[in-house]
């Protein structure tokens, strides 16, 4: 690729969590492919999660690199080695972690002064990102979050600046998957209804979003689609995790019939009690379906919750991955016929983009809203019957029973409605693919954004 003499330089600063780093790295790569000089800012221990991918893009001639910011573990009283949310093992550690994150403000300001990028895309979890830009180096600033990024006025095209609007980049396409991402408790407290009035009312979500929030936005996703080869897909998010022998498990999947295997994964940070895991195991076994189940490394002590003899009985039928799974690679496999998900926004988009019907099991954050979107609006999934929202790391009083698990997965994989769900989600898959192709809505939005930032005028 010919590099321009003065490419637009954008600094991307994702929150230190896989669910934020993954789409931000995808976004930075997408921008680099359009001639932007992209730099991803992260801490030492997080860099290996994406460095191989970045290296491959550099070999292809794209201008993308990584800048390390020191994580202030000691200053926050954290032990060394905890630089990503998924490593947190107690609430106390969580508080210290967020304290350390807040201490990144000053180092960020110094970095901005040194590097003077044209634009900063900072995570919404860093609300001080905007301040750093404003105070630090005047005119060029953009805060935001990985899948919903707010930019400062100064970096916006003039007409936006004059209108005083904020700008957001979202990990969505023009069409269906924009949802309001409020916290359920806030909503409950405000007494507001969550209305998801998508297309049938005549306006798309994008328009609804723009009108309601009065913000200009560019919808450039699904970002996961920028991973278009097996290597990118298999290393996405955690390039060095050796939890599974990829060749072996892909062969296992190859040996299964199309749409016959249920994939179960609750994201990168969720906590699920031993009693609940036990119900899941019994529910899957009762269904008789083949499955691929990702367990986080924190779900230890399997002797205590795994039903007796489960491993033995499930030989050949099921595969448990203890650690990190290459989710996008798995979802794209023809054998996968259903996805039991916690409805994290990345997972939701990835399930839709792969055309896989979902069993929805929201746990916290905005996941219950996302569930409604999947089951009631798009009608591409069936709820498992989760009733209780709780904060991250807080336990739940209500269990989802094994009967509910069996019922939901059977409905999605085998029931009468299963084919209809599969047809609907397949249609969305193709819409998503078209959106990111040249002339597609996401591609056009990306081009409009880069134009607005002045890429082509340099
Ligand atoms: N992910 C993965 N392998 C795992 C667990 C998670 O690739 O074993 C990826 C998943 O594909 C998604 C992200 O991690 O891109 C999780 O983001 P999401 O918003 O779904 O949930 P969160 O982890 O933020 O709760």
Does the C-beta of 19 come closer than 6 Å to ligand 1? yes
- Please give the Cα distance from 113 to 62 (Å, whole number): 25
CA nearest to 31, candidates 15, 10, 52, 13: 10
Please say whether the beta carbons of 205 and 176 come within 8 A.
yes
Number of Cβ within 10 Å of residue 450's Cβ equals: 19
Catalytic residue from among 26, 57, 118, 123: 123
CB within 8 Å of 155: residues ≥ 6 apart:
118, 119, 140, 141, 142, 167, 453
What is the b/e burial string over 359-369, where b = at least 16 CB atoms within 10 angstroms of the residue's CB? bbbbbbbbbbb
Q: What is the pTM of this model?
A: 0.86
CA–centroid distance, 22 to ligand 1, in Å, is 8
- Please give the Cα distance from 48 to 160 (Å, whole number): 38
* DSSP codes joined into one string, 244-286: S-HHHHHHHHHTSPTT-EEEEE-TTT----HHHHHHHHHHHHH
Give ipTM to 2 decimals. Answer: 1.00
Q: What is the pLDDT along the chain (458 residues), one digit of tens a residue?
A: 555 567 899 999 999 999 999 999 999 999 999 999 999 999 999 999 999 999 999 999 999 999 999 999 999 999 999 999 999 989 999 999 999 999 999 999 999 999 999 888 888 788 777 667 655 443 333 333 333 333 334 333 343 344 333 445 666 553 323 233 323 343 334 333 333 333 333 346 777 777 777 777 788 889 999 998 999 998 999 878 767 788 888 999 999 999 999 999 999 999 899 999 999 999 999 999 999 999 987 666 777 899 999 999 999 999 999 889 999 999 999 999 999 999 999 999 999 999 999 999 999 988 988 898 899 889 999 999 998 888 888 888 899 999 999 999 999 999 889 999 999 999 999 999 998 999 898 899 889 888 888 776 54
Does the C-beta of 267 come closer than 6 Å to ligand 1? yes
Q: Can you tell me whether residue 40 is helix, strand or coil?
A: strand
* Domain at 241-432, CATH homologous superfamily: Glycogen Phosphorylase B; (3.40.50.2000)
SS (H, E, C) 418-454: HHHHHHHHHHHHHHHHHHHCCCCHHHHHHHHHHHHHC
Q: How far is CA 367 from CA 175, 263, 388, in A?
A: 20, 18, 11
Q: 9-225+436-453 adopts what CATH topology?
A: Rossmann fold (3.40.50)
Fold equal for 9-225+436-453 and 241-432: yes
3-state helix, strand and coil shares in percent for the chain, rounded to the nearest 5: 45, 15, 40
Indicate if 20 belongs to the active site.
yes
Phi and psi dihedrals of 72, rounded to 5? -80, 60
CA nearest to 26, candidates 116, 149, 129: 149
Q: Which of 26, 125, 237 to mutate to test the pocket of ligand 1 (most atoms within 8 A of CB)?
A: 237
Please name the residue that has the structure tokens 């001080």: 128
Indicate if 219 belongs to the active site.
no
Please say whether the beta carbons of 17 and 85 come within 8 A.
yes
CA–centroid distance, 361 to ligand 1, in Å, is 14
Does the C-beta of 253 come closer than 6 Å to ligand 1? no
User: What are the domain boundaries of the chain?
Assistant: 9-225+436-453, 241-432
Does the C-beta of 325 come closer than 6 Å to ligand 1? yes
- Closest atom of ligand 1 relative to the 237 alpha carbon: 7
SS (H, E, C) 45-74: CCHHHHHHHHHHHHHCCCCEEEEECCCCHH
CA nearest to 326, candidates 302, 354, 367: 354
Catalytic residue from among 15, 18, 20, 333: 20
Tokens of 442: 């996401």
CA nearest to 64, candidates 34, 44, 84, 43: 34
């Amino acid at each position: 690729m010919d590099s321009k003499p003065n490419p637009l330089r954008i600094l991307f600063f994702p929150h230190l969590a896989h669910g934020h780093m993954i789409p931000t790295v995808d976004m930075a790569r997408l921008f680099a492919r359009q001639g932007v000089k992209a730099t991803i800012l992260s801490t030492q221990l997080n860099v290996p999660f994406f460095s191989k991918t970045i290296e491959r893009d550099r070999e292809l001639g794209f201008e993308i690199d990584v800048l390390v910011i020191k994580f202030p573990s000691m200053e926050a009283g954290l032990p060394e080695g905890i630089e990503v949310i998924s490593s947190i093992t107690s609430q106390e550690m969580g508080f210290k972690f967020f304290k350390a994150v807040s201490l990144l403000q000053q180092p960020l300001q110094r970095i901005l002064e040194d590097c003077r990028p044209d634009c900063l895309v900072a995570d919404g979890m860093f609300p001080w990102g905007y301040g750093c830009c404003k105070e630090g180096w005047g005119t060029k600033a953009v805060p935001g979050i990985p899948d919903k990024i707010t930019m400062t006025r100064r970096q916006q095209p003039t007409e936006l600046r004059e209108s005083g609007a904020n700008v957001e980049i979202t990990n969505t396409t023009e069409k269906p998957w924009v949802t309001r991402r409020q916290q359920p408790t806030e909503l409950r407290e405000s007494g507001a209804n969550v209305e998801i009035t998508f297309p049938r009312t005549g306006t798309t979500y994008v328009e609804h979003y723009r009108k309601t929030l009065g913000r200009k936005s560019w919808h450039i996703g699904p970002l996961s689609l920028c991973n278009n080869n097996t290597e990118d897909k298999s290393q996405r998010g955690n390039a060095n995790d050796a939890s599974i022998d990829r060749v072996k498990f892909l062969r296992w999947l190859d040996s299964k019939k199309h749409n016959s295997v249920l994939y179960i994964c609750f994201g990168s940070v969720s906590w699920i009690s031993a009693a609940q895991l036990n119900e899941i195991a019994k529910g899957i076994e009762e269904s008789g379906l083949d499955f691929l189940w990702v367990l986080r490394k924190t779900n230890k002590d399997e002797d205590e919750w795994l039903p007796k003899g489960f491993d033995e009985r499930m030989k050949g039928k099921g595969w448990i991955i203890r650690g990190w799974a290459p989710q996008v690679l798995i979802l794209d496999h023809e054998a996968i016929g259903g996805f039991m998900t916690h409805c994290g926004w990345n997972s939701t988009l990835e399930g839709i983009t792969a055309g896989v019907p979902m069993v929805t099991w929201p746990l916290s954050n905005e996941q219950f809203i996302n569930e409604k979107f999947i089951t009631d609006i798009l009608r591409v999934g069936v709820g498992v019957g989760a009733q209780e929202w709780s904060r991250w790391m807080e336990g739940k009083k209500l269990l989802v029973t094994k009967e509910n698990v069996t019922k939901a997965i059977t409905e999605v994989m085998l029931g009468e409605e299963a084919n209809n769900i599969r047809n609907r989600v397949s249609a969305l898959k193709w819409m998503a693919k078209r959106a990111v192709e040249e002339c597609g809505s996401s591609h056009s939005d990306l081009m409009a954004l880069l134009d607005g930032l002045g890429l082509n005028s340099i």
